[in-house]
Amino acid sequence: MRITTLSLPLLILLAACKDDAPTDDTSAPAEVDVDGDGFPTTEDCDDEDATISPSAAELCDGIDNNCDGTIDTDAQDLTTWYGDGDRDGFGSDSLTLTACEAPEGFVAEGGDCDDADARFFPGAAGDRLHRPQRLQL
């Protein structure tokens, strides 16, 4: 009988400790960062690639590296191109722009002193800078 006497208070005590309160499932789910770059899927425009994130440098590669919604417009590796009005392969230093690829009528080499005449460009025949110096006796 002694076992029954001890068991009854123990059962009453255990029944009183039961938690009938509903669980709170309204907490925000944990943020997921699939590629481990420090930006969760909700902020990272390509969470499968750790080189692409809001803190990445934009590059001339046809990809939105920094997740700003534009491709290559503010790339860090833009090239300076020179307008080549006379189509001699050398552009005018006074007409430049930066872009990933050369726009029509622009070239990578500047220094054309007369961009209206294809006969004049750096290294052209007769250019004083490239003539052999005469020895003075």
**Domain assignment of residue 123, yes or no:** no
Element (H, E) at 7: helix 2-16
For residues 82 and 65, membership in a common domain is answered with: no
Instruction: Give the closest residue to 76 by CA, choosing from 94, 61, 93.
Output: 61
Beta partners for 107? 82
| 66 found inside a domain | yes
Is residue 57 a part of any domain in this protein? yes
| Owning domain of residue 106 | 78-115
User: Within a domain: residue 133?
Assistant: no
What is residue 127's DSSP assignment?
A: -
6 in a structural domain: no
The predicted structure's pLDDT at residue 51: 93
Kindly list the averaged pLDDT for each block of 10 residues, start to end, along the chain of length 137.
Answer: 56 59 67 88 91 95 96 95 96 97 97 90 71 48
* Same domain membership, residue 86 and residue 109: yes
Residues 130 and 116: their CA atoms lie apart, in Å, by 21
110 CB-side CA count, 13 A: 10
pLDDT of residue 78: 97
Answer yes or no: is 91 within a domain: yes
- Residue 51 inside a domain? The answer is yes
**Inside any domain, residue 131:** no
Q: Is 82 helix (H, G, I), strand (E, B) or coil?
A: strand
The pTM is what?
Answer: 0.62
Helices vs. strands in the chain: H and E counts, helices first? 1, 3
Domains held by the chain: number: 2
Residue 47 CA to residue 33 CA, distance in Å, equals 7
